[in-house]
A and B are shown apart, each in its own frame.
Chain A
Amino acid sequence: GAGVSQSPSNKVTEKGKDVELRCDPISGHTALYWYRQRLGQGLEFLIYFQGNSAPDKSGLPSDRFSAERTGESVSTLTIQRTQQEDSAVYLCASSLFQGAIGEQYFGPGTRLTVT
């Protein structure tokens, strides 16, 4: 079956503009995660959705970042008034459920460049 998909693959934007990044999880996966990966670094957790529960937003770095998820399907990560430090790869992952080992399957990421 299809894996996690993300769009766009690459995005170049000017400082101060808003951007939307999209994630399509694996069908049937109730949990969805967003991570940020700065150049040469590991992944940083941003936000987590589980079914209809309130999302865990504890990793969002500022109020310029927000995310939505419609049911158990598509999620959108929005960054408002982008800054150069927002340049990174944004990775989405999904899993069947949070509990137990909850193996996360990752998408190919969106590379965001803020000029």
Chain B
Amino acid sequence: AQTVTQSQPEMSVQEAETVTLSCTYDTSESDYYLFWYKQPPSRQMILVIRQEAYKQQNATENRFSVNFQKAAKSFSLKISDSQLGDAAMYFCAYKETSGSRLTFGEGTQLTVNP
């Protein structure tokens, strides 16, 4: 079974600085999808960024980028120029290409200090 591990329960960053959130996963599949979701106190899960495993190029969405290391099964999220609105719980998630469900990590609570 696939598992997703986020080893940092909590992280903090100063406003305008850069922070990296870690995620590792375990799978025997060669093709799959990876996601980072943000969950603010409102509980609404918001998709931040996604990566297709067959693509070597790391995904980027404005201030958010990933470092995808397929051999190491690592998928970290870098947030540049952190803003107060980035404060939230961040979840890493995995999905098989032929599958339906998302498998989530335990989450990392990000605090942004002014």
Contacts and interface: CB of A to CB of B under 8 A. Distances in A.
Interface in A47-64: 48, 50, 56, 59
Interface stretch (A16-24, A38-46, A68-76): A38-46
Contacts of B42: 108
B105 A33 contact: no
Contacts, number: 59
A45 B47 contact: no
Nearest to A31: B100
**Interface residues of B toward A: which range?**
20 to 34
Interface residues of A, number: 29
B102 A45 contact: yes
A106 B45 CA distance: 6
A109 B39 CA distance: 11
B100 A48 contact: yes
A102 B103 CA distance: 14
B107 A45 contact: no
Interface string A96-115: 00111111111111010000
A42 B104 contact: yes
Listed residue (B93, B101, B102) with the most chain A CB atoms within 10 angstroms of its CB? B101
Given A41-B107, A42-B106, A43-B91, A98 B100 contact: yes
Contacts of B106: 41-42
A3 to B, nearest CB: 9
Chain A to chain B: the 10 pairs with minimum beta-carbon distance, closest first: A42-B104, A106-B45, A45-B101, A43-B104, A109-B43, A48-B100, A42-B106, A98-B100, A108-B44, A108-B43
Interface of B: 4, 33, 37, 42-47, 50, 52, 91, 93, 95, 97-107
